[in-house]
A and B are shown apart, each in its own frame.
Chain A
């Protein structure tokens, strides 16, 4: 009687076992195949979205990069160029290359936001004898290219530049110190100038020189004075003649 009861229960429950097994397999497939697939797809999509955002930010940063570049020779007959760069954007800019005409010079040089740096003594002695015109530009890590604002530089026995400008270079012996210079350019040293340009420049500890560029609007005679803490660095009122033949003059002071 008891055995009959058990067999009867098994007989009555037979369709349930297969259903339960089927359901278990279905749930197993769901948890081991379908759900991981959805999770994987979601994860991959997230990576893609993150890359899109990263690249958009990278492009925006690249667009924001802005530096002023001035290339200048160390002296009127120097075989070396200094590249002065003023970072005018809120991002740190990494310089990876300096181009002098078709010659690349590799660098790895960071300029913090809103600061200036100088690449010292780029050796152009190999190309100098056979070249008259020099175009200088720098390439940043983000792939932006900035030509020098003093382009082109001309070497005809001595250096000259383009545009009506006076480039004032203050060279120093004390590389380790920060020094401040006040530069005055006038067209009249007797106290009645029609043109005056004044600016402050900073020589930072890692630099041996600093640069100011005065754009003048007329050819003629100009006087350049450099002061440090109110003290004039000789020569006072250094005479500079800007003419159509020599539109861009370089003036050097040694402090």
Chain B
């Protein structure tokens, strides 16, 4: 009966319970926030590094170049010999004749694609050809339009 009637010490107990409740609520909120932030950081960090890994894994070359004087077209064969698929976003020919192709062309790894550039070149013209991928890698080649 004394416990029920004796109010001494009740406030500190209630205060302790409230304090613990506040600590728990704040702690769980902090935990939840930290967990979310940390998960997002993990994902975004992985995605950033994955982009860099893909960028450094890209390997492609201008395997063959040919000019057709009847079609007035420069044919460029791009070979993707890297481990990742690439997208050729720009092929530019500069030098004695100029032209370009800005169509995005996907090239699966291990495959080759032919890209056409419309330009009017003469026999003996020297061309510098630049191929740019979507990950900002480049491949270069020079080509002299043959006399034969």
Residues of A with Cβ closer than 8 Å to B?
3-4, 7-8, 10-11, 14-15, 17-18, 21-22, 24-26, 28-29, 32-34, 36-37, 40-41, 44-45, 47-48, 51-52, 55, 58, 96-97, 99, 102, 104, 132-133, 139, 141-143, 145
Majority secondary structure, A binding face: helix
Complex contact B81–A142 (CB within 8 A): yes
Q: How far in angstroms is the closest Cβ of chain B from A66?
A: 17
Complex contact B16–A32 (CB within 8 A): no
Majority secondary structure, B binding face: helix
Complex contact B49–A44 (CB within 8 A): yes
Complex contact A139–B23 (CB within 8 A): no
Q: Is B140 an interface residue (CB 8 A)?
A: no
Complex contact A21–B20 (CB within 8 A): yes
Per-residue interface assignment for chain B, residues 24 to 38, with 1 indicating a CB less than 8 Å from any chain A CB and 0 otherwise = 100110110011011
Complex contact A139–B52 (CB within 8 A): no
Complex contact A104–B19 (CB within 8 A): no
CB-contacts of B57-71 with A (<8 A): 57, 59-61, 63-64, 66
Complex contact A40–B42 (CB within 8 A): yes
Complex partner residue of A55 from B9, B57, B61, B63, CB under 8 angstroms: B57
Q: How far in angstroms is the closest Cβ of chain B from A134?
A: 11
Per-residue interface assignment for chain B, residues 92 to 119, with 1 indicating a CB less than 8 Å from any chain A CB and 0 otherwise = 0000000000000000001010000000
Complex contact B35–A51 (CB within 8 A): no
Residues of B with Cβ closer than 8 Å to A?
2-3, 6, 8-9, 12-13, 15-16, 19-20, 22-24, 27-28, 30-31, 34-35, 37-38, 41-42, 45-46, 49, 52-53, 56-57, 59-61, 63-64, 66, 75, 77, 79, 81, 110, 112, 148
Report the Cα distance A55→B30, complex, angstroms. Answer: 42
Complex contact B46–A22 (CB within 8 A): no
Complex contact B12–A10 (CB within 8 A): yes
Report the Cα distance A21→B24, complex, angstroms. Answer: 7
**Given known contacts A3-B3, A99-B64, A133 and B148 CB-to-CB distance under 8 angstroms:** yes
Complex contact A21–B23 (CB within 8 A): yes
For residue B61, which residues in chain A have a CB less than 8 angstroms away from its CB? Answer: 143, 145
Q: Tell me the number of A-to-B contacts counted with CB atoms below 8 Å.
A: 112
Report the Cα distance A173→B16, complex, angstroms. Answer: 100
CB nearest neighbor in B for A37: B38
**Given known contacts A21-B20, A37-B42, A40-B45, A139 and B27 CB-to-CB distance under 8 angstroms:** no
* Pairs A–B under 8 Å by Cβ, sample size 9: A4-B9, A7-B8, A7-B13, A11-B12, A18-B22, A48-B52, A96-B110, A97-B112, A143-B60
Report the Cα distance A80→B34, complex, angstroms. Answer: 70
**Given known contacts A21-B20, A25-B31, A40-B45, A14 and B38 CB-to-CB distance under 8 angstroms:** no
For residue B75, which residues in chain A have a CB less than 8 angstroms away from its CB? Answer: 102
Report the Cα distance A10→B23, complex, angstroms. Answer: 17
Complex contact B46–A18 (CB within 8 A): no
**Given known contacts A18-B19, A25-B28, A52-B56, A7 and B34 CB-to-CB distance under 8 angstroms:** no
For residue B66, which residues in chain A have a CB less than 8 angstroms away from its CB? Answer: 102
For residue A45, which residues in chain B have a CB less than 8 angstroms away from its CB? Answer: 49
Complex contact A22–B27 (CB within 8 A): yes
Report the Cα distance A4→B52, complex, angstroms. Answer: 67
